[in-house]
C-alpha cells in the first residue's frame, strides 16, 4: 500500500479524536522535553562551570574549610560556621610551600548594597588582598584595583561590577562615588569589565573590598577559601600533599579540604550527574508511561475500527498493509508528541539562556526524534499486529 496514503489515514484518524490524541501524547511530550532539557541545560551548566574554573587558570588548588561533602561548599561560600581558617594560613603556605607561584585568600559572601536610598540585595561580596588580581581573571574597565598598601591600611575603597553601576546607580559615572555595604560607606575606585553570568549567577552583581578593610569594618576575619597556584601542572599532587601536611599542624583533618582543579570539576560533575539521573528518571518513566498510553489507545482504536479493518481486508488489504497502517498511526502519535516536547524544551532552553550558555544541539534533536519514533514503534507493534491478524470475516461481522 501507498505509504503516503497510510500517513493520510493515520492523520485523519488521529485528528478525529483530538483530545484523546493530545492526552495520549502527554507522556511522550514530558519525556522528550525532559531529555532535551537535560542535554541542553546539562551542557550549558557544564560549560559555565568549566568556564568558572578555567578563569582561574590551570594548576590552581582550592583550600576550602570543612571536610568536603560535610558542609564544605564548592566555592567555599558556605561552611562559615565551621570555618577555622585565618589569613595567616595563607601567609604560611606562601612562606613554607615550595613550587608555588601565588597564594591568595579570599572571603566570599552575599550582601546588600545601597546607593542614595536605592538598595540591591543578593550582591556577591568578595574580600581579597591585592595578590588576587594576579591570579583571577579580573580586569578593570574604569579606575583601578586597590594597592597592597590600601589593603594593609584598611582603606574604605571598593571595586564594583557593571550591574551595580547600571541597576543600582542608574548609570552615573561611579568613580569616587560613595556606596554603602553593610551600612558603611566606601569610595568606588574601580569598575570591573563585564563578566556575564555563570550557573545563573550574575557575576557583575559584585563588590570587591580589600580583605583588611572587611576585617576591620565588618569583622570578617576568616577567608572562605585560599587559592594556591602551583608552578607547574606536574607538581600539583606534591603541592597538595605539602599543603595538607602544613595545615594539619594547626587544624584537624575535618577542618579543611585541598581540592585540585580536576577534583573540583569532578565534584561539579557529580552534582550534574545527580541532576542528570533525576532528569533521565523522569524522562524514562514518562516515555514508558507515554508508550503504554499509546499502546492502550491503539488497542482501543483497533477495537473501535474492527469493521473498518474487516472492510479494508475484504477490498484487498494484506495483513502487512494493516500492520503498517496502525504502526504509522502509533508512530505519528509519538512523533507528534516528540515534536511538541522538542518545541517546549527549545522554549525552556531559550529561557535558560538568560542564565547559562544552554543550547539545543542537533544531537539532542536527533535523539528526541529517534526516542519518540522508537517508543511509537515499540508500543505500537503489538496493537498493530493484533489489527493485522483480525480475520476479515470476523471483523466484518463485528458489531
Partner 1 sequence: MSVVSAKNITKTFGEAPNKTIVLKNISLQINKGEFLSIIGPSGSGKSTLMYLLGLLDVPTKGAIYINGQKTKDISEKDRAKLRNREIGFVFQTYNLLPRTSALANVMLPLNYSNVSRDERKSKAMKLLKDVGLSHRISSFPSQLSGGEQQRVAIARSLICGPSIILADEPTGNLDTKTGEQIINIISQLNKQGKTIVLVTHDNNIAKKTNRIVTIKDGQVLSDKKNR
Instruction: Compute the distance between CA of residue 33 and CA of residue 228 in angstroms, rounded to an integer.
Output: 42
Site string for partner 1, 333-372 (x = CB under 8 A): ----------------------------------------
- Contact between 392 and partner 1 per CB under 8 A: yes
Mention every residue, 6+ apart, whose C-beta is less than 8 A from residue 179.
Answer: 113, 114, 115, 158, 160, 164, 168, 169, 185, 186, 188, 207
Count of CA atoms in the C-beta half-sphere (13 A) of 70: 9
- Contact between 4 and partner 1 per CB under 8 A: yes
Among 271, 278, 318, 354, binds partner 1 (CB under 8 A): 318
- Contact between 319 and partner 1 per CB under 8 A: yes
Place of cell 528518571: 281
Helix, strand counts (H, E) of the chain: 13, 12
Q: Kindly tell me which of 4 and 274 has the beta carbon lying closer to partner 1.
A: 4
- Contact between 19 and partner 1 per CB under 8 A: no
- Contact between 5 and partner 1 per CB under 8 A: yes
- The secondary structure of residue 357, as a DSSP letter, is -
Going by C-alpha positions, the residue among 281, 274, 273, 283 that lies closest to residue 36 is 283
Closest separation between CB of residue 335 and partner 1, Å? 22
- Contact between 229 and partner 1 per CB under 8 A: no
- Contact between 16 and partner 1 per CB under 8 A: yes
Q: Kindly tell me which of 15 and 274 has the beta carbon lying closer to partner 1.
A: 15
Q: Kindly tell me which of 257 and 388 has the beta carbon lying closer to partner 1.
A: 388
Stretch that binds partner 1, among 186-194, 280-288, 334-342, 391-399 (CB under 8 A): 391-399
- Contact between 321 and partner 1 per CB under 8 A: yes
375 close to 64: Cβ distance less than 8 angstroms: no
- Contact between 1 and partner 1 per CB under 8 A: yes
- Contact between 11 and partner 1 per CB under 8 A: no
Among 82, 166, 396, 398, binds partner 1 (CB under 8 A): 396
- Contact between 308 and partner 1 per CB under 8 A: yes
Total binding residues for partner 1 by CB under 8 A?
24
Return the SS3 of 216.
Answer: helix
Place of cell 555563570: 198
Instruction: Compute the distance between CA of residue 80 and CA of residue 110 in angstroms, rounded to an integer.
Output: 12
Instruction: Compute the distance between CA of residue 356 and CA of residue 361 in angstroms, rounded to an integer.
Output: 15
CA 380 to mean position of chain CA atoms: 35
Count of CA atoms in the C-beta half-sphere (13 A) of 99: 16
Q: Kindly tell me which of 229 and 313 has the beta carbon lying closer to partner 1.
A: 313
Closest separation between CB of residue 9 and partner 1, Å? 9
- Contact between 311 and partner 1 per CB under 8 A: yes
**Interface with partner 1 (CB under 8 A):** 1-2, 4-5, 12, 16, 307-308, 310-321, 391-393, 396
Amino acid at each position: 500500500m501507498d505509504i503516503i496514503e497510510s500517513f493520510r489515514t493515520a492523520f485523519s484518524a488521529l485528528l478525529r479524536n483530538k483530545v484523546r490524541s493530545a492526552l495520549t501524547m502527554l507522556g511522550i511530550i514530558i519525556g522528550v522535553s525532559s531529555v532535551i532539557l537535560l542535554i541542553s541545560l546539562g551542557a550549558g551548566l557544564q560549560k559555565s562551570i568549566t568556564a568558572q574554573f578555567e578563569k582561574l587558570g590551570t594548576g590552581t588548588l582550592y583550600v576550602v574549610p570543612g571536610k568536603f561533602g560535610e558542609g564544605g561548599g564548592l566555592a567555599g561560600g558556605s561552611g562559615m560556621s565551621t570555618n577555622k581558617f585565618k589569613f595567616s594560613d595563607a601567609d604560611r603556605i606562601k612562606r613554607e610551600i615550595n613550587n608555588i607561584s601565588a597564594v591568595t585568600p579570599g572571603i566570599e559572601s552575599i550582601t546588600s548594597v545601597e546607593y542614595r536610598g536605592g538598595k540591591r540585595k543578593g550582591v556577591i561580596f568578595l574580600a581579597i588582598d591585592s595578590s588576587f588580581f594576579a591570579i583571577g581573571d579580573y580586569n578593570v574597565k574604569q579606575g583601578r584595583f586597590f594597592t597592597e598598601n590600601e589593603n594593609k591600611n584598611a582603606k574604605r575603597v571598593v571595586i564594583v561590577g557593571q550591574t551595580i553601576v547600571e541597576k543600582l546607580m542608574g548609570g552615573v559615572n561611579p568613580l569616587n562615588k560613595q556606596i554603602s555595604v553593610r551600612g558603611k560607606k566606601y569610595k568606588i575606585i574601580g569598575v570591573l569589565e563585564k563578566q556575564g553570568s555563570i550557573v545563573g549567577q550574575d557575576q557583575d552583581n559584585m563588590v570587591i573590598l580589600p580583605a583588611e578593610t572587611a576585617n576591620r569594618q565588618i569583622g570578617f576575619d576568616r577567608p572562605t577559601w585560599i587559592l594556591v597556584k602551583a608552578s607547574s601542572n606536574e607538581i600539583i599532587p606534591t603541592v597538595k600533599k605539602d599543603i595538607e601536611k602544613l595545615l594539619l599542624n594547626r587544624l584537624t583533618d575535618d577542618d579543611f579540604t585541598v581540592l585540585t582543579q580536576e577534583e573540583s570539576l569532578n565534584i561539579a560533575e557529580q552534582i550534574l550527574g545527580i541532576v542528570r539521573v533525576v532528569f533521565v528518571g523522569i524522562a524514562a518513566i514518562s516515555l514508558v508511561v507515554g508508550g503504554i498510553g499509546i499502546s492502550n489507545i491503539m488497542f482501543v482504536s483497533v477495537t473501535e475500527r474492527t469493521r473498518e479493518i474487516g472492510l479494508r481486508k475484504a477490498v484487498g488489504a494484506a495483513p502487512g498493509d494493516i500492520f503498517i497502517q496502525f504502526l504509522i498511526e502509533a508512530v505519528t502519535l509519538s512523533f507528534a508528541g516528540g515534536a511538541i516536547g522538542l518545541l517546549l524544551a527549545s522554549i525552556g532552553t531559550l529561557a535558560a539562556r538568560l542564565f547559562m550558555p544552554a543550547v539545543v544541539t542537533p544531537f539532542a534533536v536527533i535523539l528526541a526524534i529517534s526516542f519518540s519514533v522508537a517508543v511509537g514503534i515499540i508500543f505500537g507493534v503489538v496493537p498493530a499486529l493484533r489489527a493485522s491478524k483480525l480475520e476479515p470475516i470476523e471483523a466484518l461481522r463485528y458489531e
